[in-house]
């Protein structure tokens, strides 16, 4: 290696955390952990679910896009919060199909069901709303653990990016202790 240290991104040239500069690979590792939680645990709702949710909500009252997103998140207990990138195209599609209409006021579009939209919403009124489905419900209490894990990963990444070597060392000790304590929970009878 011509005398230069390549390292693994987690330990300094002397092999220990907090000795030298903050580990560069910590941020990447925490991002990977966050991604794993989101992929494996967060409910995956499809575009059909967004469509059904929009129709269901608009059957109650006219709303704008942000209200729809917020209402879904609230009704699912935070387990499902569709992105604007899934809600707004769905609204456009429903408008193109003649199921909703939009009225602009103060620079904001408020959507409401047309007669055809009310008929479509009524036809599926006997089915549970998408935020009441098993994947959304199952992540209700289970959703708290991944959320806490993501927030922990974000905090650790922040320490890794901006902390002093001593702060990084303390953070590693906290994470090691947390890992041991989590395993001890599983070991209890």
Confidence at residue 11, expressed as pLDDT on a 0 to 100 scale? 43
Read off the tokens for 69: 């997103």
Q: pLDDT tens digits, residue range 135-168?
A: 444 444 556 777 777 788 888 888 888 999 999 9
Q: With contact defined as beta carbons under 8 Å apart, do 153 and 34 qualify?
A: yes
Integer Rg of the chain from CA: 23
Q: Minimum mean pLDDT among 14-18, 34-38, 113-117, 130-134: which range? A: 14-18
Q: Hey, CA dihedral for 165, 170, 174, 177, is it positive or negative?
A: positive
Residue 95: pLDDT band (50, 70, 90) is very high
- Residue 86's contacts (CB-CB under 8 Å, 6 or more residues apart) are 47, 50
Q: pLDDT tens digits, residue range 41-75?
A: 444 554 468 899 999 999 999 999 999 999 988 88
Kindly state the greatest CA–CA separation across the chain. 75
Residue 25: pLDDT band (50, 70, 90) is low
Q: Minimum mean pLDDT among 20-24, 48-52, 98-102: which range? A: 20-24
Confidence at residue 31, expressed as pLDDT on a 0 to 100 scale? 62
In degrees rounded to 5, what are phi and psi of residue 183? -65, -35
Q: With contact defined as beta carbons under 8 Å apart, do 13 and 7 qualify?
A: yes
């Amino acid at each position: 290696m011509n005398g230069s240290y390549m390292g693994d991104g987690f330990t300094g040239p002397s092999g220990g955390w907090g000795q030298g500069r903050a580990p560069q690979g910590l941020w990447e590792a925490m991002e990977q952990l966050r991604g794993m939680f989101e992929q494996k645990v967060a409910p995956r709702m499809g575009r059909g679910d967004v469509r059904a949710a929009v129709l269901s909500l608009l059957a109650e009252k006219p709303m704008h896009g942000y209200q729809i997103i917020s209402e879904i998140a609230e009704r699912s207990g935070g387990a499902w919060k569709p992105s604007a990138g899934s809600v707004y195209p769905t609204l456009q599609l429903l408008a193109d199909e003649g199921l909703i209409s939009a009225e602009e006021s103060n620079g904001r579009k408020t959507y409401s069901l047309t007669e055809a939209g009310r008929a479509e919403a009524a036809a599926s009124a006997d089915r549970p709303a998408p935020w009441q489905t098993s994947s959304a419900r199952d992540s209700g209490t289970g959703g708290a653990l991944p959320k806490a894990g993501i927030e922990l990963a974000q905090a650790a990444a922040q320490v890794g990016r901006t902390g002093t070597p001593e702060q990084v060392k303390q953070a590693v000790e906290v994470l090691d202790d947390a890992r041991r304590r989590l395993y001890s929970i599983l070991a209890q009878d």
